[in-house]
Amino acid sequence: MQLYQNSGGKKFLLGADIELSLVKQNLWRLFYLSLAISITGTIAYGFVIYLFRDNPRKKVASLVIFMTIFLVVLTITAKEYRQKIEDRLFMAARTVPEILGEAYIDRAIKPESVSPKEFKTVIQRINNFTATIGVTYAFALRKQGDKIVYIADSTTAEELAQGFLLVIGESMIPVQT
């Protein structure tokens, strides 16, 4: 979650969530990559053992080298994967204020301060954005006195059809000072 301050000095929170299936899909890719590295490494290690079958010290040294290379490759791959997810979430959180616009953020204090038509338009724009970049959920919250209140979020088509919408200015979390 990111804390932002607009030109009017109002602070608001932004966040985003990524689809769990995307995370699982990439975890499977990471697993298959590590499996391929393991198989390749095992074959290479078997070849090294065959070459140095008469020297136990070289066997141990080659095992240590193989395990080190395997762990380094796996660690780098996992870091790259986590960084891709982090970059996508950060981009979503940074872009939501542009989608909402400062005028909307300044007015979104009470439910009556934004028309239902404008509210649905904002939600639709956030939905289009989240679908484009592969993020499941994006939201904006704002500090109002001693509470964190809702400004806008993305929602599913089913929730829109059922009329499931949060209310602008609805208190989400009391702020602890």
With helix as H, strand as E and coil as C, how does the chain read?
CEEEECCCCCEEEEEEEECHHHHHHHHHHHHHHHHHHHHHHHHHHHHHHHHCCCCHHHHHHHHHHHHHHHHHHHHHHHHHHHHHHHHHHHHHHHHHHHHHCHHHHHHCCCHHHCCHHHHHHHHHHHHHHHHHHCEEEEEEEEEECCEEEEEEECCCHHHHHHCCCCCCCCEEEECCC
CA distance 26 to 22: 6
CB 165, CB 152: distance < 8 Å = no
Of 89, 96, 88, 86, which is closest to residue 142 (Cα–Cα)? 96
Residue boundaries of the structural domains of the chain: 2-174
Averaged over successive runs of 10 residues, the pLDDT of the chain (177 residues) comes to: 50 52 64 76 74 73 78 81 79 79 79 81 86 79 77 77 66 46
DSSP 34: H
Degrees, nearest 5: CA angle 78-79-83? 120
Residue 165 has what pLDDT? 63
Q: State the DSSP H helix or E strand holding residue 152, giving kind and residue range, or none if neither.
A: strand 147-153
Whether the CA torsion 83, 84, 85, 91 is positive or negative: it is positive
